[in-house]
Homo-oligomer: A and B are copies of this chain.
Amino acid sequence: MIQLRESRFDPWLELQAYQDSLAIKGKYGATAVFVGSMRDFNEGDEVRAMTLEHYPGMTEQYLDKIVHEAVQKWPLLDSLVIHRVGDILPDDSIVLVAVWCAHRASAFDASRYIMEELKSNAPFWKKETLTEGTRWVEKNTPS
């Protein structure tokens, strides 16, 4: 499942509810999760808040493409991707990527693949509110 969220979410409660809804109990031996959170400090400056802009339609489609690629590459039993858009505060979760697999190697590989592809190519843009003024984040760091 892929979701864009306009309000704050708790990644652990999302995982609990989503996993509980899955009809694959006893089938998965490995769940790998990544959660990206908003830090209050970036590039040497205090960050007070952030706005996450996206391209409605293209962003969802691109996330879908990434997950489909991962499904081609690894035996995923299920996956969950949630990404915030709009106004965000420090400590808020920005992104959640989770995959359920029979074995651990594919879970580790697939969750990292989805995150790296998302950071490299999914159309989202961060604008930071600093102590004085705002600035667009210019690029993501390669992992």
Contacts and interface: CB of A to CB of B under 8 A. Distances in A.
Interface of A: 10-13, 15-16, 19, 25-41, 90-91, 102-105, 107-108, 112, 115, 119, 141, 143
B29 A37 contact: yes
A39 B77 CA distance: 13
A102 to B, nearest CB: 7
Contacts of A12: 12-13, 15-16, 19
Contacts of A13: 12, 16
Contacts of A115: 104, 108
Nearest to A42: B29
A30 B112 CA distance: 12
A84 to B, nearest CB: 13
Contacts of A37: 28-31
Contact of A25 (B10, B15, B90): B90
A15 B19 CA distance: 15
A53 B7 CA distance: 44
Contact of A39 (B27, B39, B40, B90): B27
Contacts of A28: 37, 39
A29 B34 CA distance: 10
A141 to B, nearest CB: 7
B16 A143 contact: no
A23 B90 CA distance: 13
